[in-house]
Amino acid sequence: MAGFLLNRLWQSIILLLIVSIIGFGVLNMIPGGPLSQFALDASMTQADIDRLTRQLGLDQPLPLRYLDWAWQMLQGDWGRSYRDGTPVLQVIGRHLPATLLLMGTSTAISIAIGTWIGIRGATHRYSGFDYVATIGAMVALSIPTFWFGLVGIYLFSLKLGWVPAGNMYTIGDQSWLNYLHHLVLPSLVLSLVHVATWSRYMRSATLDVINQDFIKTARAKGVPERRVLMKHVVGNALLPMITLAGMQLPTILGGALVTETVFTWPGMGRLFLDSLGYSDYPVIMGLLMLSAFLTLLGNLIADIIVATVDPRIRLS
């Protein structure tokens, strides 16, 4: 088990290094550069641009700039925002809780509903419910997330007035009920696609387990069907789904970017788009590395859980 963890940790470190090199290189090769916004200011002279270039270290070769950035990040200094000089960690820290709240809520909803739909679809194959679930999953996977968001705002906010159309809370009211009221629609929209994905995988995993010999043996011994389903079928079908949960993190992060933009949710996705507009490279790199770290951490935790509960992987 220790060797497995060390191997996965070493792979994660290498992947983070590769992501940082590619991200830093691509970002700094974009035409215009981080000083493009200042060039649009008529009051900025070429001397001012040159002075900012030297102050930000942009006159150095790209490899040296990367090494300096990487060394500072390893020491806990992620740089300062080009917009207002605020430390990058502080900027991200103001938006991270909103994204984690949205992602956590949508993930819990998608796992709970998707698992139930998948198990019921597998135990009632070719029933009306199974056909409706299959068609619904295909529709949810075919339509962009932002479309569901816009339709949800139109129906449930503008027409029915059940939920707010955007933002994280109402100004002057920061109670938990107000947060939950604003969280309902964006979390449901973000979870919709993942419910479809989770339900299809769960249905396939459940069908695979149902056809195993040990399930037939349990039924032949007279074990009640409910106990067979809950103890043997669901427990074994959930093992590959744990790995899927870790692999879904990048998709959830990407969906959060779109959802936060549609609902003006003050999370990392909204911050990322704003930083792109301002060519705020330190913040963009900080968000990129944090997203990569969270993705690798999620996959690592999923692998540890699977290795812990599945003796075949643990012993191998």
The predicted-structure confidence for 258-310, as pLDDT tens digits, reads as follows 888 888 888 888 888 888 888 888 899 999 998 888 888 877 777 777 777 66
Compute the average pLDDT of residues 239-256: 74
80 pairs with which residues across the strands?
A: 87
Residues whose CB falls within 8 Å of the CB of residue 157, separated by 6 or more in sequence, listed in order:
163, 164, 165, 185
**CA 161/CA 167 separation, integer angstroms:** 15
Length of the chain: 316
Rounded average pLDDT over 169-184: 83
Q: How confident is the model at residue 21 (pLDDT cuts 50, 70, 90)?
A: very high
pLDDT at 49: 75
Check whether 316 has a pLDDT greater than 60: no
Nearest Cα residue to 258 out of 146, 102, 168: 146
Model confidence over 75-132: pLDDT tens digits? 888 888 888 888 999 999 999 888 888 888 888 898 889 989 998 998 888 899 999 9
